[in-house]
Amino acid sequence: MVENNTENLEPKEELEQQAEVAASAPAQEVAASSEEFDWDALESEDEGFAGQRKNDLEKFYDNTLNTVQEKEVLEGTVISMNKREVVVDIGYKSDGIVSLNEFRYNPELKVGDPVEVYIESLEDKKGQMILSHKKARAMRSWDRVNAALDNDEIIKGYIKCRTKGGMIVDVFGIEAFLPGSQIDVKPIRDYDIYVGKTMEFKVVKINQEFRNVVVSHKALIEAELEQQKKEIISKLEKGQVLEGTVKNITSYGVFIDLGGVDGLIHITDLSWGRISHPNEIVELDQKLNVVILDFDDDKKRIALGLKQLTPHPWDNLDAELKVGDSVKGKVVVMADYGAFVEIAPGVEGLIHVSEMSWSQHLRSAQDFLKVGDEIEAQILTLDREERKMSLGIKQLRQDPWQDIESRFGVGSKHTATVRNFTNFGVFVEIEEGVDGLIHISDLSWTKKIKHPSEFTAIGAEIEVVVLDIDKENRRLSLGHKQLEENPWDVFETIFSVDSIHEGTVVELFDKGATIALPYGVEGFATPRHLVKEDGSQASLDEKLDFKVIEFSKSAKRIILSHSRVFEDEKKSEETATKKAQAKQTKKAVKTVKENLEKTTLGDISELAALKSQMEAEENKEK
């Protein structure tokens, strides 16, 4: 009966049924046969009922299980999951354990899903079978990646971390590279937000030699965007207003995403007023309306405008504003020739450097203003059609030349600042807008100045006296030496002709030398008058006595000679000697005449000799 009941059972259930029948056999039946039981066979377990039945049961049980081996890849089924592990049934006598981390790329994994596993160990120390999904994927992944590239297949990948230039993606257990430019069609500003995400990708490149894989998420959406782009471009028209999103901001403009098509708003088309950087007007990801200004034939370059959506500020300028009115504004741009002042957003006027000060000498606009200055100015010209305006700030101050005679009359003394040099004089400024010229001849009574830089320096202060006023040309004629009395009135008595003075040779040149005399006076000596008594020539910085041979008060000129000093002395000595000899001769003649009557023959001889001597001396003098 027992055997009949087990015919329709499953093998595993049949084994269990037979075990129960054997266990429930009547005790008396066992006792009745105890005398006939073969105890030796039981001990040997090679023969007899018990040994044979055990072998049959083990064989029958093994036939119900899969035959598996270590280092083998096969498919199993997820039968349970927790926060750390996934239990997989591979049809073996025990289930295997896989770490949940190996399924990060597939967060949607659930009980009942088929998975591939690699058998690392059939039984560890705890009797547990150890499986690896990651290794199974790695063994199959290279073929799957190549198939995905060949079939243009969309696959899933887990973004593990950032790397230089992009991201590392786990695809089938292979680390693939996702370039930053292939994450999205928009520039990515924060890569970290993608780490830990599972996304869809396309395999775009495989290097078989180095086994490198490059994937792209951007490729999945480009096809759709390309179709949108064609539709948008086909409908573009100048003047059309579209909504866009700020995609990128640069120093020269803003790139706007029009829905797959990019356009550029140049910085000058963002606002009617001047701005230093586009981020003063817009920010990233901001949505705004823009107008199409222009595009090329292929519509690949689209010029957009933002300010064109609002009226031009010149159209809203106060109609009552006129030339002569004062306005307030802010300096927005500086140049050497002037400054641009914004009196309203988009409305600017130019202040030329000549309208910044009443001063006539050349200066830069940066000497008066700088960017950001809040100023008040007067409108000089206003052209609404051309949208141009010129301004001035000096007009808000009184013209210093209106009352020049009363404040800077002829003969008045002032302190001025040296502004510039020329070969013929010094330009100075007494106050802003009041300039004058000191001629080089009016710098000093005594010094002969070749260039004004020998006398003063730019930026230095100098005392001046007004000599003349040229109101029409707005120029004063000034003098410096006139602050002192003319010393040549005194020099006329000191340096009279034939007077001798000690002088120093301060300059030598081909035509002569300049001699420094007392009281700061200079004289001139020709080379002939520089010869010393020993025949040598006077040298530089040598001190000698000089005789004045010419004095001109009107020309302020003194001509000197060193040679005349010793030459004239020698002539004086010779003249004195001659006079003494002539006096002696006359005395001798007188004596002869007085004694003529007493003359004897011998005396006559002496007289003849004396006469011959006197004639010889007279011839010698001649």
69: DSSP letter: -
Of 594 and 195, more confident: 195
Q: What distance in Å separates the CA atoms of residue 203 and residue 147, rounded to the nearest whole number?
A: 10
Q: In the beta sheet, which residues pair with residue 75?
A: 116
pLDDT score for 14: 45
Instruction: Give helix 49-62 / helix 11-23 axis angle, nearest 10°.
Output: 160
Lowest mean pLDDT among 53-62, 80-89, 503-512: 53-62
Stretch 305-315: mean pLDDT: 86
Q: Which amino acid, one-letter code, is at 77?
A: T
Task: Give me the pLDDT at residue 265, please.
Answer: 92
Q: Please write down the HEC assignment for all residues of 530-561.
A: HECCCCCECCCCCEEEEEEEEEECCCCEEEEE
For residue 249, which phi and psi values (nearest 5 degrees)? Answer: -120, 125
CA distances 145 to 136, 152, 209, Å, are: 14, 10, 15
Identify whether the C-beta of residue 599 lies closer than 8 Å to the C-beta of residue 608.
Answer: no
Q: What is the CA radius of gyration of the chain?
A: 62
Task: Tell the residue number behind the tokens 């066992």, with chain if given.
Answer: 30
Count the Cβ atoms, other than its own, within 10 Å of residue 68: 15
pLDDT tens for 12-22 read 444 444 444 44
What confidence score (pLDDT) does residue 20 get? 45
Question: 601-621 and 563-594 helices cross at what angle (nearest 10)?
Answer: 160
The count of other CB atoms within 10 Å of the CB of residue 141 is 19
User: Average pLDDT in the 39-60 region?
Assistant: 54
Q: Are 198 and 106 in contact (CB under 8 A)?
A: yes
Identify the top-confidence range among 191-195, 375-379, 450-454, 553-557: 375-379
The average pLDDT across 592-614 equals 61
Cβ atoms of 311 and 286 closer than 8 Å: no
Q: What are phi and psi of 455, to 5 degrees?
A: -105, -35
Predicted local distance difference test score (pLDDT) of residue 131:
85
**Looking at residue 482, what DSSP letter applies?**
G
pLDDT of residue 2: 34
132: burial class by Cβ within 10 Å (0-12, 13-18, 19+)? buried
**Residue 576 or residue 504, greater confidence:** 504
pLDDT over 60 (residue 349): yes
Q: How far apart are alpha carbons 105 and 87 in whole angstroms?
A: 18
Angle (CA) 500 503 507, round 5° = 140
DSSP secondary structure string for all residues of 296-363: -TTS-SEEEESGGGS--GGGGS-TT--TT-EEEEEEEEEETTEEEEEEETTEEEEEEGGGT-S--S--
Encode pLDDT of 150-191 as tens digits: 888 888 889 888 888 888 998 887 889 988 888 887 777 788
462: which 2 tokens? Answer: 């100098």
**Residue 334 near residue 297 (C-beta atoms within 8 A):** no
pLDDT tens for each residue of 363-381? 788 888 888 889 899 999 9
Confidence band for 590, pLDDT divided at 50, 70 and 90? low
> Which range, 37-41, 153-157, 376-380, 472-476, is most confident?
376-380
Low-confidence winner among 117-121, 222-226, 308-312, 549-553 (lowest mean pLDDT):
222-226
Q: How far apart are the C-alpha atoms of 70 and 78, rounded to whole Å? A: 20
pLDDT given at position 36: 53
**313-322 pLDDT per residue, tens:** 888 788 888 8
Is it the case that residue 410 has pLDDT exceeding 70? yes
Question: pLDDT at residue 26 above 50?
Answer: no
pLDDT at res. 22? 43
* Mean pLDDT score of the chain: 79
Main-chain phi, psi angles of 20, to 5 degrees: -65, -40
Question: Among the ranges 1-5, 94-98, 219-223, 481-485, which has the highest mean pLDDT value?
Answer: 94-98
Averaged pLDDT, 451-476: 86
Checking DSSP bridges between strand 388-392 and strand 425-431, what pairing results, if any? unpaired
Handedness of CA 151, 152, 157, 161 (dihedral sign): positive
Overall pTM surpassing 0.75 (yes/no)? no
The Cα 420–Cα 124 span in angstroms is 100
What mean pLDDT comes out for the span 520-526? 86
Tokens of 37: 């039981």
Res 202: pLDDT: 86
Q: Lowest mean pLDDT: which of 40-44, 271-275, 316-320, 324-328?
A: 40-44
Tell me the average pLDDT across 523-532: 87
Closest CA to 461 of 491, 423, 431: 431
**Do β-strands 302-305 and 326-335 pair in parallel, antiparallel, or remain unpaired?**
unpaired
Max CA distance (Å), the chain: 230
Distance from C-alpha of 210 to C-alpha of 208, rounded to nearest angstrom: 6
Of residues 45 and 271, more confidence is placed in: 271
What whole-number distance in Å separates Cα of residue 39 and Cα of residue 45? 10
SS3 17: helix
pLDDT-based confidence at 266, cuts 50/70/90?
A: very high
Q: Which of 64, 47, 43 is nearest to 55 (CA)?
A: 47
Question: Does position 478 have pLDDT exceeding 70, yes or no?
Answer: yes
What are the start-end ranges of the H helices in 173-309?
218-234
**pLDDT value at 596 more than 80:** no
Q: Which amino acid is it at 24?
A: S
Please check whether residue 394 is in contact with residue 321, taking contact to mean a CB–CB distance below 8 angstroms. Answer: no
> How far is residue 490 from each of residues 389, 486, 542, 548, 559, measured CA to CA in Å?
63, 8, 26, 15, 17
Residue pair 513/531 in contact by the 8 Å Cβ criterion: no
As separate numbers, helices (DSSP H) first and strands (DSSP E) second, the chain gives: 11, 30
Q: Is the pLDDT of residue 42 over 70?
A: no
Mean pLDDT along residues 585-591: 66
Residue 204 has pLDDT above 60, yes or no: yes
Higher pLDDT among residues 454 and 361, named by residue: 454
Share of the chain above pLDDT 90, in %: 5
More confident residue, 422 or 299: 422
Residues 143 and 203 sit within 8 Å (Cβ to Cβ): no
* pLDDT reported for residue 304: 92
